[in-house]
Amino acid sequence: MKPTPQWVKDLKPSAPQGTELIKAERDSSKLSVDKLSKFLFTKEVLDRQATILKILEAEKVFDKSRNYFDGRQDRFVTALARAKRLRQLQVKHNWTQDEFYCASDLISEPGPYGLHATMYLTTLRGQGTPEQHKLFLEPAENYEAIGCYAQTELGHGSNVRGLETTATWNPEDKTFTLHSPHLTASKWWIGSLGRTANHAVIMAQLIIAGKPYGPHPFVCNIRDMKTHEPLEGIHVGDIGPKFGYNTMDNGFLLLNQVKIPHVNMLAKYSRVDPETNKYVKPSSPSLIYGTLTWVRSTIVLDSGKVLARGVTIATRYASVRRQFQDRDAPSGTSGENQVLNYSMVQYRLLPLLAATFALHFTGKAMMSLYQENQKRMASATTDTTRGVGPEELQAGSDLIADLHATSCGLKALGSTIAGEGLEVCRRACGGHGYSSFGGIGAWYADYLPTMTWEGDNYMLTQQVARYLLKSARAVLKGNAPTNDTTKIFSTFLQKQDMGCAHDVLGSDSDLVAAFAWRTSYLTFEALKHRDLEKNSWNSLLVDFWRLSTAHSQYLVVKNFYDVLHSESLQYELDPATIDVLHKLFRLYALDTLEKEASEFYSSAAVTVRQIQLARTKSVMKLLEEIRPHALRLVDSWNFPDWQLDSSLGRKDGKVYEDLFYRASELNPLNGLTIDPYPNNDTLVTRDETAQFKAKL
């Protein structure tokens, strides 16, 4: 392989340089990036990230330069090496859970211990008895047993009740027999199961004396603890390559009459009494409910940051990239126009930039609501001496129902905005967005399953609709609990006969109220279709999906509004930054209003004229006003270059140098010399790929 010639090494991008352009762009705004970062994350979190980043950067195994080149097998083995090292570092530095998550976030790739560290441990903790903690949780926490959570089956995704795997109680020897009666019963998609785990929590239909009791969790050892070979009666493996997430070994598992002891059924909530051979019912199913709510809330909180990666990359590249002269530029003007100057680019990117903040604030609000409720529940259930009255329990359960519905709707909306938004960002990078070095594609592909797992985004909307219909019925009957949802419904019912007049362009609170009005309108329309016109549930699924989306959009707009009116804001941010945040709020709300215009028309929440003006005047003006701050706003998300691993999203603007370096110096394919003639069957005449791989 010839070395790169000197004349190539001497070449620079044509002027102006990316470094100059991005500096000028940064200088065009006075917004305080530091203050905004602290407001978003707190100083503690920022400091933590800086400390951990240094530790990771120093470790060769976390070097990312191979990531875009390696095939699946190499990527998986590297991910395993990283997962091991990460665990070692966790022990060495005595990392908290938050520090561990921070490290994972910086590494930004799913790893083979992923489901062990989350779902396996969480399930054992939450659903095991003290005896089971000793037996299963302790070795798992020490990584002496590696586990996964096996629920989904080849033929059964969302519908847990449809699971086919059985766990049959054997009274004679006090054991359960786990069994897969059909091919479709094979566990499927189970993270960490394919090659890594030697244990699994298996969700199986409990059967006692021929009678089914629904799905329950069972711990099962599946691979030999020494040889790592599958145990007798177990057929297990990786399910194959996927659109993304290929560093994870999602697996399948078939069981052929596998016996496990009585203690392997996780028994905190329900169990089989080994003496009477009777089923003992769960005492408090609502706490299990809570875990799913927590998982969904995390997805909402993450969605802002997930999207912010794409927006950061696209905004930085749009500050460096120039294309065409401005058509209205005076003749004689030379030089091409910065892509970020194009209103079409602003129209695609800046509402997404606004969405990153909107989702982040919403996620934070959800999380505190969840934590507050957990505290209340814990004290209500543990503090039995206090004598909790039925009203208090009812209020708690109302709040859980509200939280559950809210988390479903926001999970669906947030992950959809983030997932689809990333693709918009990728495309906004033009041709180079398609290069792996752009850094958005792989991130997007890895994120996509979030739209399906923890409740498919379309399926979830039914839960939201069900809750809203129930609340609406209660409001009509006059026996509704007092919460925000029932409040907006009551307001709507009061004003329904005289209509409304929301000045969405002149008043922020009216803007929020217009979203509330639309939710209420759609709820009572759906209620009419279901309760009066007796339409089938199935025929209303599209209405329910729209309703859930509308309600969740309302919640996002409202949460953003609340942050702007919170007391802490004035102390933490200067007026100029607050002003930009306020513009982002208005952009998010008005852009959403305009994109969903037909529902605002038909619910008469806003006048036709104001909806038209929302885009042609307000949104376009906001784009112009926010544009000078766009780069600093994405900077405030505080992604290190090491994390983004993107030529286009480099903080220093050296886009072209980096793209070229990776292609010319690192790309192993350039080590292959081929015979190009079709009549010669020889394909590769020289293979020097090893020399490239050695550099990686």
Query: Which residues line the annotated binding site for FAD?
Result: 152, 191
- Restricted to residues 384-423, the positions that interact with a copy of itself (CB under 8 A) are 423
C-alpha to C-alpha distance for 640 and 80, rounded to whole angstroms: 23
> Cβ of residue 429: shortest distance to a copy of itself, in angstroms?
10
- Minimum separation from the CB atom of position 628 to a copy of itself (A): 16
- Does 327 engage in binding with a copy of itself (CB under 8 A)? yes
CB-based contact 120:106 (threshold 8 Å): no
Which one of 426, 627, 629, 650 is in contact with a copy of itself (CB under 8 A)? Answer: 426
Beta bridge partners, 238, equal: 251
Identify the residue among 673, 690, 691, 695 touching a copy of itself (CB under 8 A).
673
Scanning residues 342 to 381, which ones bind a copy of itself (CB under 8 A)?
342-344, 347-348
Looking at beta carbons only, is 379 or 612 nearer to a copy of itself? 612
Using the rule CB under 8 A, give the single segment among 209-217, 366-374, 467-475, 667-675 that binds a copy of itself.
667-675
Among 182, 278, 565, 695, the residue binding a copy of itself under the rule CB under 8 A is 182
Q: Least distance from C-beta 464 to a copy of itself, angstroms?
A: 13
- Smallest gap from Cβ 372 to a copy of itself, in A, equals 33
CB of 27 closer than 8 Å to CB of 47: no
Minimum distance, C-beta of residue 84 to a copy of itself, in the bound complex (Å): 4
Helix axes 541-564, 457-477, angle to 10 degrees: 80
* x-or-dash string of contact with a copy of itself, 43-72, rule CB under 8 A: -------------------------xxxxx
Find the binder of a copy of itself among 284, 602, 690, 695 (CB under 8 A): 602
How far is residue 254's CA from residue 190's CA, in Å, rounded to a whole number? 12
Q: Where are the alpha helices (DSSP H) in 95-188?
A: 97-107, 114-115, 121-127, 130-132, 138-141
Query: Is there binding between residue 668 and a copy of itself (CB under 8 A)?
Result: yes
Beta carbon of residue 283, minimum distance to a copy of itself (angstroms, whole number)? 27
What is the C-alpha to C-alpha distance for residues 238 and 246, in angstroms, rounded to an integer? Answer: 11
Q: Which of 59, 131, 138, 144 binds a copy of itself (CB under 8 A)?
A: 144
Question: Which residue among the candidates 99, 109, 153, 454 is catalytic per the annotation?
Answer: 454
DSSP 3: P
- Specify the residue, 272 or 550, whose C-beta has the smaller distance to a copy of itself: 550
Cβ of residue 444: shortest distance to a copy of itself, in angstroms? Answer: 8
How deeply is 11 buried, as exposed, middle or buried, from its count of CB atoms within 10 A (0-12, 13-18, 19+)? exposed
**Range 529-548, binding a copy of itself (CB under 8 A):** 536-543, 545
In this structure, are residues 110 and 247 in contact, taking their beta carbons and an 8 Å threshold? yes
Using an 8 Å Cβ cutoff, are 127 and 202 in contact?
no
Q: Does 238 bind a copy of itself (CB under 8 A)?
A: yes
Q: Are 527 and 444 in contact (CB under 8 A)?
A: no
Q: To the nearest whole angstrom, how small is the minimum distance from the Cβ of residue 166 to a copy of itself?
A: 12
Q: How far is the CB of 184 from a copy of itself (least distance, A)?
A: 4
Residues in the chain: 696
Do 106 and 51 touch, CB atoms closer than 8 A?
no
Instruction: Between 476 and 659, name the residue whose CB sits nearer to a copy of itself.
Output: 659
Q: Name the 3-class secondary structure at 253.
A: strand
Binders of a copy of itself among residues 250 to 309 (CB under 8 A) are: 252, 254, 256
How many whole angstroms separate alpha carbon 632 and alpha carbon 635? 5
Among 51, 96, 184, 691, binds a copy of itself (CB under 8 A): 184
Letters for 1-40 (x = contact with a copy of itself by CB under 8 A, - = none) are: ---xx-xx--xxxx--------------------------
Per CB under 8 A, 684 contacts a copy of itself: yes
C-alpha 164/C-alpha 203 separation (Å) is 10
b vs e for 650-677, b when ≥16 Cβ sit within 10 Å of the residue's Cβ?
A: bbebbbbbbbbebeeebbbeebeeeeee
Give the containing element (helix H, strand E) for 61: none
Annotated binding site: 152, 191
Strand order from edge to edge, sheet including 251-255: 187-190, 251-255, 234-238
Active site residue 454: yes
Stretch touching a copy of itself by CB under 8 A, among 31-39, 469-477, 561-569, 601-609: 601-609
- Bridge partner residues of 273 (DSSP): 278
Using the rule CB under 8 A, is 334 a contact of a copy of itself? Answer: no
Q: Which backbone phi and psi does 254 adopt, to 5 degrees? A: -115, 140
Question: Of the candidates 158, 170, 394, 570, which one interacts with a copy of itself according to CB under 8 A?
Answer: 158
Please name the helix (run of DSSP H) or strand (run of DSSP E) that holds residue 44, with its range, or none.
Answer: helix 43-57
Binds a copy of itself (CB under 8 A): choice among 357, 447, 560, 656? 656
What part of residues 208-227 is at the interface with a copy of itself (CB under 8 A)?
223
Which of these segments, 262-270, 431-439, 479-487, 633-641, binds a copy of itself (CB under 8 A)?
431-439
Check binding of 159 to a copy of itself (CB under 8 A): yes
Q: In terms of C-beta density within 10 A (0-12 exposed, 13-18 middle, 19 or more buried), how is residue 213 classed? A: middle
Residue 662 contacts a copy of itself per CB under 8 A? yes
Residues 612-651: x/- map of binding to a copy of itself (CB under 8 A)?
A: x--xx---x-------------------------------
User: What DSSP line would sit under 627-687, residue for residue?
Assistant: GGGHHHHHHTT---HHHH--STT-TT--HHHHHHHIIIII-GGGGEEE---TT----EEEE
For position 138 contacting a copy of itself by CB under 8 A, the verdict is no
Longest dimension (CA), the chain: 94
| Shortest distance, position 302 Cβ to a copy of itself, whole Å | 19
H or E element, residue 407: helix 390-428
Give yes or no for residue 499 binding a copy of itself (CB under 8 A).
Answer: no
In terms of CB distance, is 5 or 390 closer to a copy of itself?
A: 5
* Count of residues of this chain found to bind a copy of itself when the rule CB under 8 A is applied: 145
Our finding on whether 185 is near a copy of itself (CB under 8 A) is yes
Residue 492 corresponds to which amino acid? F
* DSSP bridge pairs for 166: 179, 205
431 contributes a contact to a copy of itself by CB under 8 A? yes
Residues catalogued as catalytic:
454
